[in-house]
Amino acid sequence: MGCGSSSDCGGCPSQSSGCGGGAPQQPQDLTAPLHELSSVKHVIGVVSGKGGVGKSSVTSLMAITMARKGYKVGILDADITGPSIPKMFGIKEKAYADEIGMYPVKSKGGIDVMSVNLLLENDTDPVLWRGPILGNVVKQFYTDVIWKDIDYLFVDMPPGTGDVAITVYQSLKLDGIIIVTSPQDLVSMIVEKAVKMADLMQVPIIGVVENYSYFHCPDNGKDYQIFGESHIEEILQKYGLLLLNRLPIDPTIANLCDQGDIESIEKTNLENVSLPE
């Protein structure tokens, strides 16, 4: 006996902590179930340690890339207070729900999208909810939405390591994450936070996309490092991470996002990225 007090562990306050008198308890599984009518093969989180690195655009480009390869793709917009996916895809239709569940809205290219902006009366209405409510909404987008025959569900995460990120890591059955960064040393430092969080939550890291890596001047054909020299190699070597690609600063992408026509982009520059099969 571990405590030496009694052979009967029933009612002992130390029982839940796995004392020597009983078998140690397994960590609680907090994974949320999908809707009974949903079918999702792979869930991929797209994360960043801070805002402003183009995470939503990388999420969109990854979704477009996989859709063009013939896969059925969905995007769960988990950035509840700053949703931008519907705007980038030009989706104006509102999502709806019935007694069975909620239904995502299809983009022009056939990508299923669920975002809080598809539920608000006006796109510019602010979402004034505290952390636990935000986390519950994201979980509902996973459990209550009917995701039909999805090969890859991309989760556009909010920046940082707050309530929503914790909910996604704990509640969604993630196959892995893609970390988005930009060249500055400050951002590279924050990438380490995302790496360490993934390690703590035991979620595989598929690789890193360095966005805004350079600007290719169409006039002289030269590349310019607008944000300075990249420091990503140090992080990649330190943690044994794969660099998926370096994406340039591209005014064309910005214009297409503003026009709600991101799906008309000719090349995503992510065509060679390999995801779990």
Binding residues: 49-56
In sequence order, what are the residues at sequence separation of 6 or more whose Cβ sits closer than 8 angstroms to the Cβ of residue 114? 74, 75, 76, 77, 95, 102, 104, 105, 141, 145
Phi, psi of 160 (to 5 degrees): 90, -165
d(CA 189, CA 157) in angstroms, rounded, equals 19
Nearest one of 65, 28, 145 to 97, comparing CA atoms: 145
- CA angle (156 as vertex; 155, 161 as ends), nearest 5: 100
How many residues in total does the chain contain?
Answer: 277
Annotated binding site for ATP: 49-56
Beta-bridge partner residues of 97 = 102
The set of long-range contacts for 127-131, using a CB threshold of 8 Å and a minimum separation of 24, is 127/80, 127/81, 129/80, 129/81, 131/162, 131/163, 131/164
- At residue 204, the 3 state secondary structure works out as coil
Residue type, 26: Q
d(CA 186, CA 192) in angstroms, rounded, equals 10
State the burial class of residue 29 (Cβ atoms within 10 Å of its Cβ: 0-12, 13-18, 19+): exposed
Q: Are 189 and 48 in contact (CB under 8 A)?
A: no
